[in-house]
Chain A
Amino acid sequence: MTAPSADILRNDVDEIIRRIRPDFKGEIKVTDRLREDIGLDSLHAMELLSAVTEKYELDVDIEEVQEVKTVGDVVQFLTTAMA
Chain B
Amino acid sequence: MKIQFIYPAFERHAQSHPELLDAVPCDEYLGGPSLAIANLAAVTPAGYEMAYCDDRVTPFSLDLDADIYALSFFTPAATRALEIGDMIRGAGKKVVAGGIFPSALPDVAQQHFDSIVIGEGEGVWQRLLEDAAAGRLAPRYQQQEPFDLATLPPPRIDLYIGAENDRFHPDDYPLQTSRGCPLRCDACVVPCVMGKKLRLVPQETILRAVQDLASHGKRAAVTEDTSFFFFSGARRHFREFLKALRDDPRPRGEKVSYIGITMPMILALDPTILADISEAGINRFYLVCGFDPITRKAFGSGDQESLDKAVEAIQRCKDNDIEPYTSLLVGNDTDDEGVFDRILSFTEKADVPKTEFAIFTPYPGTPAWEQMQAEGRIIDRTWKHYNDANVVFRPKQMSPERLLQGYLDLWRDFYKSKTFLASLEHGDRTIQF
What residues make up the interface of A, taking CB atoms closer than 8 Å to B?
16, 19-20, 41, 43-44, 46-47, 49-51, 53-54, 57-63
Contacts and interface: CB of A to CB of B under 8 A. Distances in A.
B264 A50 contact: no
Contacts of A51: 235, 270
B268 A47 contact: yes
Nearest to A40: B268
A76 B230 CA distance: 17
B183 to A, nearest CB: 8
B411 interface: no
A50 B265 contact: no
B264 A54 contact: no
A62 B264 CA distance: 18
B268 A62 contact: no
A61 B236 contact: no
A76 B315 CA distance: 36
A61 B229 contact: no
Contact of B231 (A16, A41, A61): A61
Contact of B235 (A16, A54, A62, A63): A54
Contact of B268 (A20, A53, A54, A63): A20
B269 interface: yes
B228 interface: yes
Nearest to A57: B236
A47 B233 CA distance: 13
B239 interface: yes
A43 B228 CA distance: 11
B271 interface: yes
Of B228, B230, B236, B270, chain A has the most CB atoms within 10 Å of the CB of B230
Contacts of B232: 59-61
Interface string B363-374: 000000000000
A62 B182 contact: yes
Size category, B interface:
20 to 34
20 contacts: A19-B270, A19-B272, A20-B270, A20-B271, A41-B264, A41-B293, A44-B268, A46-B229, A46-B268, A47-B270, A50-B229, A50-B230, A50-B270, A51-B235, A53-B233, A57-B233, A59-B232, A60-B230, A60-B232, A63-B182
The 5 closest A-B pairs by CB, nearest first: A50-B230, A59-B233, A43-B268, A47-B268, A54-B235
Interface of B: 182-183, 197, 228-233, 235-236, 239, 264-265, 267-272, 293
A54 B197 CA distance: 18
Contacts of B271: 19-20
B269 A47 contact: yes
A58 B233 CA distance: 7
B231 A60 contact: yes
B270 A16 contact: yes
A62 B181 CA distance: 10
Contacts of B228: 50
B233 A41 contact: no
B230 A53 contact: yes
A51 B236 CA distance: 9
Contacts of A60: 230-232
A48 B197 CA distance: 21
A54 B236 contact: yes
B347 to A, nearest CB: 23
Contacts of B236: 54, 57
